[in-house]
A and B are shown apart, each in its own frame.
Chain A
Amino acid sequence: MNINKSNPLTLHPLTKWMKKKKWSWFQHQIETFQHVRSGSDVVVFAPTGAGKTLTGFINPIDDLIKSKKYKGLHTLYISPLKSLANDIVRNLEKPIKDLDLNISFQVRTGDTTPYKKQKQKQKPPNILITTPESLALLNSYENAKEFFHNLKYIIIDEIHTFLDNKRADLLSLNIERLQTFSPNLQRIGLSATLKNKQDAKKWLCRKKPKIVSYENSVLPKIKILESKERIPWSGHMATYSINEIYKEIMQSKLTIIFVNTRAQAEYMFKNLWLINKKKLKIAVHHGSLEKNLRLKVENNLSKGLVDCVVATSSLELGLDYGDVEKIIQVGAPKGINRLLQRVGRSNHNLNTPSKAILVPTNRFEFIEAKAAIEEIKKNNLDKIDLKEGSFDVVAQHIFATACAGQFEINDLYKEIIKAYPYKKLKLNDFKQLINLIQDGGYVLKNYDQFKRIFQLRENKNIYKLVNRRETRKYRMNVGTIIENPMLKIKLGTRTLGNVEEVFIQNLSQGDSFIFAGQILEFQSMKNNLVQVKRSKSLISKIPSYSGGRMPLSTNLANSVRALLAKSNMWDFYPEQITEWLKRQKNISKIPKKDEYLVEQFPRKKNFYTVIYTFAGWHANQTLGFLLLRGFKELNYKPLGFVANDYAIVLWSLKEVKEIKTILNLGLLDEHLDNYLEETSIVKRLFRDNAIISCLIERRLPGMEKTGKQVLFSSDLIYTVLKKNEPDHILLKSSYEDAKKNMIDYDRLREILKKIDKKIILKKLTSISPLAVPIILEINRENLSKKETDEYILEDLENEILKEANVLSIN
């Protein structure tokens, strides 16, 4: 494509191979090569299909060939997924074998056999492909320094997935460790296109930082499903359009249907199966399915042996499925980056556009889908916010360091604050984390004789592990991903996957549920195994999984608000949507893009307040709770609230008169602590913190301790600690986590800072059209547990619509 006459890659060993394949180098590959050769750390931004993997290896292969028979480990390649690591090996194998290059390469993940791992330690390959967790483990071995001291390059694949989570913290600390072992180490990051490229650069690069970027000029073709059916007011299952979705699958060679939750995946699969008259091969794929079931689907997908796969984010990253022709996104896109990542799973060819169809499951989602398409046209991506490093990950890292050998605390501290997430880590906090690993770090010194690490008598700054046996405990606890207690589902002797323990506890013998695309009947539970048999029941539950709820991105939210206000666009929408918005305009108001509409109306015997914040679910959930407290204080007698991505509704016995004076920053400052306390958000996060920091042990398969007991004892620890030592570093850490992740503190703060001047208050005599979706959610939430019967919902829906006087819209 971009053949440059003075191409510095002309003499590169891979060029010959590329020519044979009739390929040529991309400009960004040439640039990367030059920058890295002149000693820069580089982040490369390129879409899938632009030879990203190869880009990372250009310099390492060049250097390895030049230095001939290189001894020891030369290049480390970090992949976010085990399955991706295997794929990289296959991609690397082709040129190296074809050219008969004298370069050794291997993969090392949690799936690698102990025998192979041992061999790798004795005789490392030139190139090792691994994951952040396996890297952390390698760094905890006594010979880590010798193992890595010749390392020249580290390549971080899909670096955009590593910027805003605890895994990123862990990886950043381990990269700095490698840099200490091998000061000449160069860093290469490979990323999907990102809005804040500079942030990714700051996170990774140290030496002469450079950005290389390839912008794809071919835009994906995305449209919204044209449906003859009416789009429902509320809900998240695209039942209304199932026949049209099926038609779309029939029309393409291979389709991936992306949904937002594992429950939706099961539900969608079941519904497609019910209407599968053409006997299409349809499969389901999500993170809780047993590994070999997932691998089977992935294999069939890459060989083109299926017609359609219903998947969650589990298929967002990963293998190159060349034959995928169409992507169907069911439900809200939630964010631009996420949608682009999903859309990019079809047609891995740079010159042909990816094809995608969006299926909104309710009316707000229609606007959201429309907005997302607009933003993608403008190439307006979401920003990924870098996070400040978490304390618990540092604690785990200190433990790992001690496993590798004795260490000097000042040296370790200096190394840690070189990592971008920990630039601001205070020495005092660091010392508390040392104490945490030493003996729990409690003020009451009861454990002097039981320490895990101790100070040398001759030099108090040097710490050493008391007992080598402790290394085993570290290795069992490594990593930052903590799942809720799960139980294995067994159909006969076959394992189907994992379901949360909480879900099973709510089942009685004979209850049926849908999992792995089958209707199953709960029989018994023994030794943490859930025995099931096939069932023909028509009424069945679907397991849901907590956590991982993606809130609407700020970027997309702003776009939704702007689009909503553009009334000249309305006529291009389906009639029912147009009517919905027009009627809203007449009865109440459509807020301008920087306005916050608040509607108040009586309904049945209660008084309703709806606030359209478009702040995303987390922030709205928090705001709902804070307002509940505020209303209580002003004696409005609030009864409850429901939040979604767009709005909050509160209902109370008395009329809320002073919404403007209560909606401000004071609300946040006054009631936030209560919120964290009463909803046990911090308590839940404390469990993760206690496990990641190795204060308590992680449950592993085959251990007698069940997840329930871990959960239970971490709650007890939390309660005792909170009462006796509220300043403990792990409580502080859990509180920070809550602020960052669960309650969207910063986003809410931003909104509350400016909201009071932008409130548009509408006092209505009855419910407004815009409020119908969220009012319906109230009833759905209360109903869903007992009744999933669609008739009842429809009946209820009609009743509310009549009330809103909008029934004629349909």
Chain B
Amino acid sequence: MYYQLINFGNEEFHAYPDKSLYWKRLNTLIVSDLHIGKSISYAKNKQFLPPYDTKEILNKIFVSLDKIKPSNLIIVGDLLHDVFSILSLKDQDHKNLSQYMKNTDFIWIKGNHDKNIQIEGFKNFTNYKIDKLLFTHIPIETSLFQICGHYHPKVKISHRGKTIFKTCFIHNEKIFILPSFGILTGGLDIHSKQISDVLGKNNLSIYPVGLDKVYKL
């Protein structure tokens, strides 16, 4: 798999087109905003999205774990969409998860969507510090470098008279935001107020995610 090299907080990361981020020095894989079970949570409001998102997200993460075999998997929040989401995890899914947990340490940082939910066998944290890096769902006041999720960043690209929106990895000097790893999750323009308030407008490094490549703007 092709990856894009990203330097952030004096560390080297690899950004993959499946929207995961790999920290080679510590053999750690980082993902964010999986929103497992979004479809079932919509179904309770009678919006019947295809119920295949959970299966696809888990497959995606398993494929990545098989390939990279990381020592740690850090989930930077919103693993689950809401409390109903657990319904979409079948027995087999739980079995598969515990199988992977034998070789990889799962670190589940709670997000706004899943802060009150527990899954058997999952350790969870409000945030997690490694060296000078802080993993947190939403950035907080700190002098540390932060790696977060929450915003599902998307960048608008206009070129030769055409405009497209692409999911992206994005960071400034201190804060890094991951794209959503989910299937039915939308995105937020990086120039929206919510993201500008966090990252500012200048000195941004933006990495749009293509079909099988992560680009650099």
Count chain A residues whose beta carbon lies closer than 8 angstroms to a beta carbon of B.
30
Whether B46 sits at the interface, judged by CB under 8 Å, is: yes
Whether A439 sits at the interface, judged by CB under 8 Å, is: yes
Interface string of A709-742 (1 = CB under 8 A from B): 1001100110011011100100000000000000
Does B40 contact A447, Cβ atoms closer than 8 Å? yes
Does A723 contact B186, Cβ atoms closer than 8 Å? no
Residues of B within 8 A of A493 (CB): none
Does B48 contact A720, Cβ atoms closer than 8 Å? no
Does A725 contact B50, Cβ atoms closer than 8 Å? yes
Q: How far is the CA of A690 from the CA of B66 in the complex (A)?
A: 36
Does B53 contact A720, Cβ atoms closer than 8 Å? yes
Interface string of B10-53 (1 = CB under 8 A from A): 00000000000000000000000000000110011011111111
Interface string of A694-705 (1 = CB under 8 A from B): 011100000000
28 pairs, CB–CB < 8 Å, chain A vs chain B = A439-B43, A439-B48, A440-B43, A440-B49, A442-B48, A442-B50, A442-B51, A446-B43, A446-B87, A447-B43, A450-B46, A450-B48, A452-B46, A452-B48, A473-B46, A505-B163, A506-B158, A506-B161, A713-B184, A716-B183, A716-B184, A720-B53, A723-B52, A724-B50, A724-B52, A724-B56, A725-B50, A785-B160
Residues of A at the B interface (CB closer than 8 Å) are 439-442, 444, 446-447, 450, 452, 470, 473, 502, 505-506, 695-697, 709, 712-713, 716-717, 720-721, 723-725, 728, 785-786
Whether B156 sits at the interface, judged by CB under 8 Å, is: yes
Partner of A720, one of B47, B183, B186: B183
Knowing that A450-B43, A721-B52, A724-B50 touch, tell me 5 more A-B residue pairs with CB under 8 angstroms: A446-B39, A446-B87, A502-B163, A506-B158, A712-B187
A251 CB → nearest B CB, Å: 41
A68 CB → nearest B CB, Å: 48
Partner of B52, one of A444, A452, A473, A712: A444
Does A446 contact B156, Cβ atoms closer than 8 Å? no
Does A447 contact B51, Cβ atoms closer than 8 Å? yes
A218 CB → nearest B CB, Å: 49
Whether B88 sits at the interface, judged by CB under 8 Å, is: yes
Most buried by B among A440, A724, A725, A728: A440
Q: How far is the CA of A444 from the CA of B48 in the complex (A)?
A: 12
Residues of B at the A interface (CB closer than 8 Å) are 39-40, 43-44, 46-53, 55-56, 87-88, 156, 158, 160-163, 165, 183-184, 186-187
Does B46 contact A446, Cβ atoms closer than 8 Å? no
Closest to B52 in A: A724
Does B186 contact A440, Cβ atoms closer than 8 Å? no
Closest to B163 in A: A505
Residues of B within 8 A of A439 (CB): 43, 48
A446 CB → nearest B CB, Å: 4
Given A447-B43, A505-B156, A505-B163: A695 in contact with B48 (beta carbons within 8 A): yes
Residues of B within 8 A of A506 (CB): 158, 161-163
Residues of A within 8 A of B49 (CB): 440, 713, 717, 720
Closest 10 CB pairs of A and B: A440-B48, A785-B161, A446-B51, A724-B52, A450-B43, A447-B43, A720-B50, A505-B163, A721-B50, A452-B46
Given A450-B43, A712-B186: A786 in contact with B50 (beta carbons within 8 A): no
Closest to B49 in A: A717
Does B51 contact A444, Cβ atoms closer than 8 Å? yes
Q: How far is the CA of A74 from the CA of B208 in the complex (A)?
A: 62
Closest to A504 in B: B163
Residues of B within 8 A of A697 (CB): 47
Does A720 contact B46, Cβ atoms closer than 8 Å? no
Does B52 contact A450, Cβ atoms closer than 8 Å? no
Does B184 contact A720, Cβ atoms closer than 8 Å? yes
Residues of A within 8 A of B43 (CB): 439-440, 446-447, 450
Most buried by A among B40, B43, B50, B183: B50
Residues of A within 8 A of B183 (CB): 716, 720
